[in-house]
Structures are given as structure tokens and as C-alpha cells.
Structure 1
Amino acid sequence: MRSSAEAVIIGGGVQGCSLAYNLAKRGCKNVVLVEQKFLAYGGTGRSGGGVRHQFGTEINCRLAIYNVKCFEYLQDELGYKESIEFEQGGYLWIAYTERQLEQLRKNVKLQNSLGIPSMLLSPTDIKELIPQINLDGIIGGSFCEKDGHINPFHVTLAYAEAAKRLGVEINTYTKVIGIKLKGNTIDGVYTDKGFISTPIVVNCAGPWGKEIAKQIGIEIPLYSERHQILVTEPVERTLRSLILCLDDGSYWKQTPHGNFMLGIGNPNEAKGFNMSSSWQFLEEASRKIVKKMPILSNLRVIRQWAGLYDITPDSQAILGPTKINGFYLNLGWSGHGLQFAPSIGRALSELILGEKPFIDISPFYIERFENGKLIPEPACI
């Protein structure tokens, strides 16, 4: 492991790997990334892989436009030999109450004003789009054909391999045990494999990032919460859209390999670092989603897993500089960090290197919580 670096990134999820690549691409090649387990161990590798334009805040919509365009050619840009499995089959949000539908109307109006081709759908439209769906209780929805899903592992590995070719050093199974300061300025990182002298540290450690920041006196307003997913056996491809229901947070998609992935929200989930799967989730998710998509009733479940969301008070990421010179944040993604890897990897790298970010990310700075300038994102599950 290198003993010095221009920057150290803590966390080997897609955000950390994208940032490493973007820093090296802009000439900052002596970058060291440290990950306590393996790449995509945290929220990245346990996500559903959704990619969408359909957000309810302008800044997220603008970033999403950039993200989707990047994903369309990212595999070629990164020189990745495998497929990142980016598929634009659309993203369908389904409303069961007038309040939910009204929020979708507001979202679509905003999205359309920014050039996003989303649209409102009637129950009849939804049935035409997804003939297999049970319309009971559905009063409408929204859809964008340019949305879709991607393989989280392949995207992360694509960024990591491209970063390494540019000179980045990636150390897995390396745990950060301390951060050294000189006055109010970053001076280095202590790991269980040695010390790295550096003037810049970027905290991309997701749920574990709160404790890392606390070591140097920074309190981050986020908490961790378990979310679970189950996967069925592969069958003939019948579904290309990702479906999300606003009544219970249930969602499902079919991967390019034919497996169905299913998830569901749990408003009673306890805060914490529980990453074990439960039979209760298996039973509840199967029951609720089969009712909505009856053709799934005879499929066999082949695996199940759990991961952690790092959730902030406004369900928005915390990005940018802190009161400690050289210490930057990139965490608190509240369940949608995977799809923002292209835009934030670029914008944050530009900020760190003293350039003007291509899009202003200052609304995501941690000061917003002290200043009361939260930016609640309504399109989150």
C-alpha cells in the first residue's frame, strides 16, 4: 500500500470508484481507495439497480439527465469488456390514492419543464403497458421510457478497473482506524495496513461514514436502515420496465437474465446495521407482490439478501467540503446513490481539484441542516 497520496477515498461502492476514476481522469492520479470488505460490499451491491429521471426536485432531475446520458455510453468510455447491463425499458410509478397521484402530477410537470419525456398514465394506459398487472386499487401512474436499470456490480467494477489503469490504487479488506489532523487540516489516514499521508480525504463510506466523520468531530445527520430483496429463478423475459408502487413501497423488475427481483418497503424497520435476511420479508413481499403481479405466483425464490440505506432528514445526499480542511463528504444517498455515480463523480472531483463543478452541488452541503435549507426529495421509497 502506498504511504502517501494526493487523495484518499474511503469506501469502495460505486460512488467511491466513480470519484476515483474522475479524479484520475482529471490528472489527480496518485489516489488511494480503501474498502473495508470488497468492492460494492455495501449499498451498491445490494441495490435493485434502478436508474431514473423521475425525481421531484429540480437538482435531482438535472443530475439524472446527465446520469442517464452517461450510462448510455459508459461501458465504452470505461473500456469495460463485460456488459454493465444498462437497459432502458422504462420506470413505472403507480398511485393508489389521490394524494399520491397529485405528487406524480407535480413531478411530471417539473420533469417535462426540464425536457424529461415522462408522462401520466391512466389505469387503462398502465394495463396496456403491463398487461399482467392487477389493476385493483390503481388510480394512475407516471412513466418515462428512458428510465431503466443497470447491474450495480458491473458498473462498480467498470469504474474501478478504469481508475486502476489511470494509476489509482485500490485496497480491499483495508479498514480505516483513524484520521490524522494537523490543526484543522487533514494530514493522513490510519488503516489496519498502515498510514497514508494525504491532504485530502473523501468519506464515501455510506452508513459507516457517520462513525468515520465522528472521529474528527463532525456529526452527520443520517441513520442506517435495512432493506431487503429477493430473487426468483430465471424465466422467459416478459417484463422490461421497473415497477414501483406508492402504497407499500413494493417494486419489481426482470433482469436481462430472466430473474425477477422483488422488494418492499417496511415502515416499521428498526434503525441500525442489521444486514440479515428475514423469513418475514420473504413471506410479506411474496404475498403483496404476487397479488399485484399474479403471473409471479408459481416462480421459485432462489436467493435473498439485505443491505443498508444511509438516510438523511431530507432523503438527499450530503456532499462537499466540511469544517475540516481537506475532508469531503459523499454519503447519505437514502437509497438512490447508484444512479448518481456519473454526475457526482464528475462534479465532486471538479470541486476537490479547485475547478468549477459542471453543476452546482452546494445545495447538498452539510450546512443545509444548520441553515434550515433542506431539499426534501418526494420521489423516494
Structure 2
Amino acid sequence: MKRTADAVIIGGGISGLSIAVHLAQKGVRNIVILEKRFPGSGATGRCGAGIRMQWGVELNCLLSKFSVDYFEHINDILKNDVDVEFWQGGYLIGAKTKEEAAQFKANVSLQNRLGIDSVYLSAKEAGDMMPHLDTSKIKAATFCGRDGHLNPFRTVQAFARAAADLGIDIEKYTTVTDIFSESGRVTGVRTDKGDILAPVVVNAAGGWAKAVADLAGVELPVYSRRHQILVTEPVEPLQSAMFMGFAWNIYIQQVPHGPFIMGRGDTSEPTDLRMTSSWQFLEQMSQTVMTLMPSLSRLKVIRQWAGLYNMTADAQPIYAETPELQGFYLACGFSGHGFMLAPATGQLMSQLILGETPDIDISSLHIDRFKGETPLPQESSVV
């Protein structure tokens, strides 16, 4: 393991890999990624891997639009041929109430103004697109055909291969135990395999971001909440679009080889870093799916698993250099959307670290926003 680096990135998930690759593509040569297990073993490998541009907050629309553009050209950008299985079947998002339908109209107006080709649909039009959906349960819907999903493992492979080609060191099964500083500036990290001196340390540790910040003496206003997912047996193609319902806290997608992947948000889930599965999730998910899509009731569940959503109070990420410790950067608090924002995270964090003007104004995503009296509007388009 190297003993000095120009930048150390803590976390080998999709965000950490993207930051490292973007830095290297901008000319930074001595980069080390520290991963306590293996790349993609945390939230990245446990996520639903959906990608959408349909949001209710302008900044999230811009971040996700950047990322969709990137994923559409990922092989050219990373200069490798790893097939990330980007399936753009679109997202169909259902509104449960008249109030939500009205909000969806406003969302589509915002999205269209930003160059996102989403449309507002009646319940009948949504049913024409997805015949097995019980449209009596929705008031309206929105759709964007460029939304979709990727294979998270292949996407990690693509970034990891690019990292290797760019000379980035990925230290697997390496745990960070301390972060050094002197006179208000970060100077390096201690691991269970030795110390690395570095003027830049990036916290991209996902569910463990708060624990990493604690090592640096930085108070990080995030928490990690369990999020559960299941996968069914493969069946013949039934739906190409992802269905999502915020009021039902659910998303349902059929992946190209046939299985359905389903997840649901639940604010009562534990926040103690556990990633076990529960029978309550399976029961609640089954009830919701049978209400919305009765024809799926006979599908056999193959397995279920859990990951962690690293949450902020406004469900928007933190991109920042910490004010109390120069050279210590934060890329965390994605609130369940770190995978889909990863290309934007890499680009914007690399620009922030190198003193460049970010392509998207992310000044409002600084950690200091949680200390002020004018917080960001909360993103409600979250499952």
C-alpha cells in the first residue's frame, strides 16, 4: 500500500469510484481508494439501480439529467466496453391523490423547462402503457422515456476497470481507523494496514459516512436507515417501465432477464446500520403490490435483502469541503439516490477539489445549510 497520495477516497462504492475516475481524468495521478470490503459491496451492490430525471426540486433534476447523459455514453467516456445494461424503459410514476396529481403537473412543468422530456398522463393513459396496473388506484401519472435502470455490479466493474486503467489504487479489505490533521488541515489517514499521508481526503463512505466524519472530528448531520428490496422468479416480459408511487412508498421494475425487483421506503426502519431482512417488509410489500398490480400476486419471491440509505433532513446530498477541516471533503447524504447521481457526484466533487467552477451550482448543498434558517426545500419525490 502507498504511504503518500494526492487524494485518498474513503469508500469504494459507485460515488467513490466516480470521484476517483473524474479526478484522474483531470490529471490527478496519485489516488488511493480505501474500501473495507470490495468495490460495490455496500449500498451500491444492494440498490435497485434505477435512474430517473423526474424530480420535484430543480437541483435534483439537473444532477440526474447530467448522470443520464453520462450513462448513455459511459463506454466512450470510460474508454472500455463493459456493458452496464442501461435499459431505458422509462419511469411511470403514479399519483394517489388529487393533491399529488397537482404536484406532478408542477413537477412536469419544472422538468420540461430544464430540458427533461417528461409528460403528464391521465389514469387511462397510464393504464394503456401498463395494462396490469389497477388504474382505479391512481388519479394521474407522469412518464419519462429516458429514465431506466442499470446493472449495479456491471456499472461498478466499468468504473473499477477505468480506475485501473488510470492508475488508481483500490485497497480492498482495508479499514480506516483514524484521520490525521494539523492546524485545521487534513494530513492523512490511518488504516489497519498502515498510514497514508495526503492533503485531500474524501468521505464517500455511504452508510458509514457519519462514522468516518467522527474520525475527523466533524459533526455530520446524516443518519443511515435500512432499505429493503426483493426479487422474484423470472417471467415473460410484462412491463418495460419502472412503476413508482411516492404515496405508496414503492417501486416495481422488471429487469431484462425477467425477474421483478421491488423496494419500498419506510420511515420506521431501524437506523442502527443493520442490513438484515424482515418478514414485515415482505408482508407489507406483498400487500401493496397486490393492491396496485393484482396479476403479480402469484409471483414467487426468490430472495430479499437490505442496504442503507444515508439520509439528510431535506433528502438532498451534501457536496462540500468541511469548514472546520480544510482538505476534508464530503460526498454523502444521498438519501437513496447515490447510484443515479454518481456521474454528477464525480464531476462536481472533482471540480470542487481542484478549485474549478462546478458545471452545476452546488453551493446550496454545502453542509452549512443545516446550520442556517433558510433550509433547502425538501425533496418529496423519494421512496
Same fold (TM over 0.5): yes
- Matched residues in 2 for 1:360 and 1:277: separation? 39
Task: Spell out the pairing of 1:4-19 with structure 2 (5 A cutoff).
Answer: 4-19=4-19
- Cα distance 1:76–1:236, how it changes in 2: closer, same or farther (>3 A)? farther
1:75 positional shift: 2.5
The residue number in structure 1 matching 2:94 is: 94
1:153 positional shift: 1.6
1:207 positional shift: 2.0
- Matched residues in 2 for 1:216 and 1:250: separation? 36
Q: Percent identity?
A: 46
Task: Spell out the pairing of 1:43-122 with structure 2 (5 A cutoff).
Answer: 43-122=43-122
Matched, 1:360 2:370: no
Write the letter of the residue equivalent to 1:365: H
Write the letter of the residue equivalent to 1:371: G
State whether residues 18 and 160 of structure 1, in contact with CA within 8 Å, keep that contact through their aligned partners in structure 2: no
TM-score scaled by length of structure 2? 0.97
- Matched residues in 2 for 1:84 and 1:325: separation? 36
- Matched residues in 2 for 1:221 and 1:372: separation? 15
The residue number in structure 1 matching 2:144 is: 144
SS at match of 1:179: strand
1:101 positional shift: 1.3
The residue number in structure 2 matching 1:229 is: 229
**Greater shift after overlay, 166-175 or 268-277?**
268-277
- Matched residues in 2 for 1:102 and 1:312: separation? 26
How many pairs does the alignment contain?
A: 381
1:246 positional shift: 2.4
Deviations 1:224-270 (A, max 9, x none): 11110000111112211011112221111011111100112223223
1:351 positional shift: 1.4
- Matched residues in 1 for 2:330 and 2:350: separation? 12
The residue number in structure 1 matching 2:128 is: 128
1:179 positional shift: 0.5
Deviations 1:62-111 (A, max 9, x none): 22221111111103322343310111111111111122112211211111
SS at match of 1:371: coil
Show structure 2 runs of 5+ residues with no match.
none
- Matched residues in 2 for 1:351 and 1:215: separation? 22
Show structure 1 runs of 5+ residues with no match.
none
The residue number in structure 2 matching 1:269 is: 269
SS at match of 2:73: helix
Matched, 1:155 2:162: no
Deviations 1:32-53 (A, max 9, x none): 0001111112211111111011
Matched, 1:302 2:324: no
State whether residues 10 and 202 of structure 2, in contact with CA within 8 Å, keep that contact through their aligned partners in structure 1: yes
Deviations 1:121-140 (A, max 9, x none): 11100110101111232111
Write the letter of the residue equivalent to 1:379: S
- Matched residues in 2 for 1:300 and 1:63: separation? 36
State whether residues 100 and 246 of structure 1, in contact with CA within 8 Å, keep that contact through their aligned partners in structure 2: no
The residue number in structure 1 matching 2:379 is: 377
Write the letter of the residue equivalent to 1:245: G
The residue number in structure 2 matching 1:326 is: 327
The residue number in structure 2 matching 1:32 is: 32
SS at match of 2:210: helix
Matched, 1:204 2:204: yes
> What is the alpha-carbon root mean square deviation over aligned residues?
1.2
Write the letter of the residue equivalent to 2:107: N
The residue number in structure 2 matching 1:278 is: 278
1:283 positional shift: 2.0
SS at match of 1:360: coil
State whether residues 89 and 148 of structure 1, in contact with CA within 8 Å, keep that contact through their aligned partners in structure 2: yes
SS at match of 1:136: helix
1:222 positional shift: 0.9
- Matched residues in 2 for 1:192 and 1:354: separation? 32
Deviations 1:334-360 (A, max 9, x none): 001111111120111011112222222
- Matched residues in 1 for 2:373 and 2:236: separation? 50
Write the letter of the residue equivalent to 2:326: N
